[in-house]
Structure 1
Amino acid sequence: MAKGAFFNVPLHGHVNATLPVVRELVDRGEDITYYLTESFRPQVERAGARFHRYESTLEGGPNAGSALILPARMPGESRQVLAQLLEAVRAERPDYIVYDPMCLWAWMLGQILRIPAITFRPTMAVDVRSGQFAAFLKSRSAAFAGPMQQAGKELAELMREHGLPPMDLLGMLGQAEPLNLVCVPRSFQMGGDTFDERFLFVGPSIRPRGDAGDFPFEHLAGGPALYISLGTIFNNWPEFYRMCFEAFGGTRWRVVLATGHAVNAAELGPIPGNFLVRPSVPQLEVLERTDVFLTHGGANSLMESFAHGVPVVVIPQMAEQPLNARRVAELGLGLALEKETVTVEQLRQSVDRVSNEPGFREKALAMQRDVQVSGGYLRAADAILEFRARKAA
């Protein structure tokens, strides 16, 4: 039995895609330890891995979970997490590690301890040489110039302390290992044909979660179904939810609206009769019954939507979501709106257009086929085991 270690940042969008792979590896006899914060213990243990806790600077405090400036926070996070985990991982002596590219500290652990490493990317892979990627990263860096400059100094000092070669923050985002698993189909990846054999585009890592509970799916019967969700982080936007009430209340749409836990639905005002409003919903099962998904454009949500052949309207909120929205529009998988300027009429017209023009559904169904042939968590598990076998030979 070989030992594997998974490392991740405490963000649901980064963790969720790894769990089906972990479950599959455990089922095939691998001994997996997952290093995460305490709030993720139940999910990790349900996946069959041994849980090892660490304390994170990303949980608690005014910027907790802020993916807007996550790269700038990685040097400080890495200093804290390395101090907690270096000797524990050294004693564990895993045969391989799998880490999210945002885990700078995990890359450092692999380098310091000379452990074969694999990246696991829940989003599109980053090519800092690409014009579109470079322009996007430059604009994000400029928006947080002060924190990025300070983080660059901290990163240089951290690398020196551990005897590692210099690395800049943008280089960190594009860091590649001998095997890099990417949770989008190559056809969705921006510049997909430019990535070499080190990159395996396995598509979304989706396994039935069995968490539907007593959700009233009958609400979606009797009309076209619209699902609305802004994800798990930046969803505290009451004004948007009220706009949705105005745009779709009393219409033909059967609407499921997931608000997240930061918003009290009782404070949103009267809820239209054709709406079902909950803090969270069983997303996979809802998407099975959905005609259009109005989403923030997180990679997991988009891939789950396309896995069910559902076209989208995207209102990006943060991080890489504007790039995802751009890619959706380029491929004809849906429409993209701007958060700062969105109106009730835009919401209504965009959802109706995506519903009524067959081209959007046709493109989503074509992407569904690409998702299916990419292999998902099964192909990812195969690749990890093949990688481990090569390294052991």
Structure 2
Amino acid sequence: MSRIVMTGMPAAGHVNPSLPLVHELVRHGIQVVYYSTEQFRGAIERTGAQFKAYPPGTITAHDIAEATRSGSAVRVVVRGLASTEILLPFLQAELRADPPDAVAHDSNAIWGHMAAKSLGLPTISFMTTMLVGTDAFRSQTAREWLQFLKAAVRDMPAAVAARQRVVRRFGKNLFPPRPAFPTLGDVTLFPIPRWLQRPDSRIDERCHYIGATIDPETRESGLDAELAAHVDGPEPLVLVSLGTLHSGTDDFFRTCFAVLADLPARVLLAVGSHTDPARLGPAPANTLVRASVPQLEVLRRTAVFVTHGGMNSALEGLANGVPLVVVPQQFEQLLIGRSIAERGAGVVLRHNLSNRPVPPAELRAAVARTLTDPSRRAAAKALADTVGEGGGAPAGVRAIKELLVATG
């Protein structure tokens, strides 16, 4: 029996799309050992994979969220490099004791890639979004560029120092070539449709765009009585969620209270674990506030999805034929939102990228029009048929099997 070790990035947007692939590998008789944090043990074990925990104090979803909310992608890199100093020796010892046939790793979990390279093992990179080239940054406004550079420059010295520490300790030959984040593998799987990828010179025959990997069996489900009554009411449902890493500000959610209260719709706010609903004040009669919701189950009942535009959320919305109002928190999410808007299935409110609040009138207008414009719903339903193009998890398994055969 073939055996694969998966080294994950412990964040819902990275773990969730990997689970259908892991489930499919197990169904094909391939043993999978998945390294992550205790937060994701249950979800991983439901796929039939063996869960193994990262050492305490290395990296958690909370660490990634805190770095992400700083506004600088460079700070996430710093956190990843610091984790590599602990996780790489840990994984090398684990893999030497029981060598797998290949190492699969999240494209940002460079510790997995480096451990595999140090032991001469094939690598499978799992890339949860598209490649972003330097040409894409030309679509940023001057104000957005200034905001991006202010955050990046602040954290750049720490990133350079962290990279130097890793290279000095483990050797330059193990460190992935620039740009190290994301790290590609002998096979790289993209669980996205090909139409979302802009042209990029790094794309070659090792890159497989397998389409969205969405499997309700691998996800938490079930609506309690209050939530079920709200989402199954007679009016259309507007779901507002800015993801598990970004969440949203109190002011943004209060704006939602103010401008969506009199719409002929029910509103569900998923505010994340960092927002205390009590701080927001009384919710309007048509609005229910929750820290989190079973997103796949709720999206099946949703008319409009107000989202940050993370790849996982965007594809889950489109897979259910739901038009999007995208409020990007990072440049990559702007690109995702624009690609969807260009196809008529959404609208983008990009103010947060230049550290400006979304104007209440624009948020209301975007939601109201998306509720009433049948063309946006039709466009989203048309895209629903494309998000799985590429074969999904079974196509990913085929690519992995071909690698295992080729590497003996």
- In the superposition, the TM-score normalised over structure 1's length comes to 0.90
Cα deviation for residue 267 of structure 1 reads 3.0
Listed as ranges, the matches of 1:224-239 within 5 Å are: 224-239=236-251
User: 2:125: which partner in 1?
Assistant: 119
Report the Cα distance in structure 1 between the residues aligned to 2:383 and 2:131, rounded to whole angstroms: 18
* SS of corresponding position for 1:122: coil
| Amino acid corresponding to residue 301 of structure 1 in structure 2 | S
| Amino acid corresponding to residue 377 of structure 1 in structure 2 | A
Q: Residue by residue, what CA displacement relative to the aligned partner does 1:325-364 show, whole Å, maximum 9, x if unpaired?
A: 3333333331111222312211110112223333322332
Report the Cα distance in structure 2 between the residues aligned to 1:105 and 1:117, rounded to whole angstroms: 12
| Amino acid corresponding to residue 21 of structure 2 in structure 1 | V
User: 1:282: which partner in 2?
Assistant: 294
Cα deviation for residue 293 of structure 1 reads 0.3
Q: Does residue 332 of the first structure (1) align with residue 336 of the second (2)?
A: no
User: 2:379: which partner in 1?
Assistant: 363
| Amino acid corresponding to residue 250 of structure 1 in structure 2 | D
Q: Residue by residue, what CA displacement relative to the aligned partner does 1:271-319 show, whole Å, maximum 9, x if unpaired?
A: 2222222211111111111111001111110010011111101111246
Report the Cα distance in structure 2 between the residues aligned to 1:346 and 1:157, rounded to whole angstroms: 47
Report the Cα distance in structure 1 between the residues aligned to 2:222 and 2:283, rounded to whole angstroms: 23
Q: Does residue 132 of the first structure (1) align with residue 136 of the second (2)?
A: yes
Report the Cα distance in structure 1 between the residues aligned to 2:14 and 2:64, rounded to whole angstroms: 17
Cα deviation for residue 150 of structure 1 reads 3.1
Residues 153 and 194 of structure 1: is their aligned pair in 2 closer, same or farther, counting only changes over 3 Å? closer
Report the Cα distance in structure 2 between the residues aligned to 1:387 and 1:341, rounded to whole angstroms: 47
Residues 62 and 40 of structure 1: is their aligned pair in 2 closer, same or farther, counting only changes over 3 Å? closer
| 173-182 or 114-123, larger mean C-alpha shift | 173-182
Q: Residue by residue, what CA displacement relative to the aligned partner does 1:78-115 show, whole Å, maximum 9, x if unpaired?
A: 11111322111121201011111111111111210111
Listed as ranges, the matches of 1:75-224 within 5 Å are: 75-126=81-132, 128=133, 130-132=134-136, 140=148, 143-165=151-173, 171-191=179-199, 195-208=203-216, 209=219, 211-214=221-224, 216-220=227-231, 221-224=233-236
Residues 97 and 60 of structure 1: is their aligned pair in 2 closer, same or farther, counting only changes over 3 Å? closer
* SS of corresponding position for 2:387: helix
The answer to whether the 8 Å contact 1:20/1:206 transfers is yes
Cα deviation for residue 169 of structure 1 reads 8.2
Equivalenced residue count is 390
Q: Which runs of 5+ in 1 are unaligned?
A: none
| Amino acid corresponding to residue 211 of structure 1 in structure 2 | S
The answer to whether the 8 Å contact 2:91/2:112 transfers is no
Cα deviation for residue 38 of structure 1 reads 2.3
* SS of corresponding position for 1:125: coil
Moved over 6 A (4+): 60-63, 134-139
| 355-364 or 231-240, larger mean C-alpha shift | 355-364
Report the Cα distance in structure 1 between the residues aligned to 2:308 and 2:122, rounded to whole angstroms: 35
| Amino acid corresponding to residue 77 of structure 1 in structure 2 | S
Report the Cα distance in structure 2 between the residues aligned to 1:119 and 1:364, rounded to whole angstroms: 29
User: 1:252: which partner in 2?
Assistant: 264
Residues 170 and 315 of structure 1: is their aligned pair in 2 closer, same or farther, counting only changes over 3 Å? farther
Q: Which runs of 5+ in 2 are unaligned?
A: none
| 256-265 or 323-332, larger mean C-alpha shift | 323-332
| Amino acid corresponding to residue 3 of structure 2 in structure 1 | K
Listed as ranges, the matches of 1:304-383 within 5 Å are: 304-318=316-330, 320-337=332-349, 338-339=351-352, 340-383=356-399
Listed as ranges, the matches of 1:57-76 within 5 Å are: 57-59=58-60, 65-67=66-68, 68=73, 69-76=75-82
Give the RMSD, CA atoms, in angstroms.
2.7
| Amino acid corresponding to residue 67 of structure 2 in structure 1 | S
Cα deviation for residue 62 of structure 1 reads 7.5
Report the Cα distance in structure 2 between the residues aligned to 1:373 and 1:219, rounded to whole angstroms: 33
Report the Cα distance in structure 1 between the residues aligned to 2:200 and 2:319, rounded to whole angstroms: 19
- In the superposition, the TM-score normalised over structure 2's length comes to 0.87
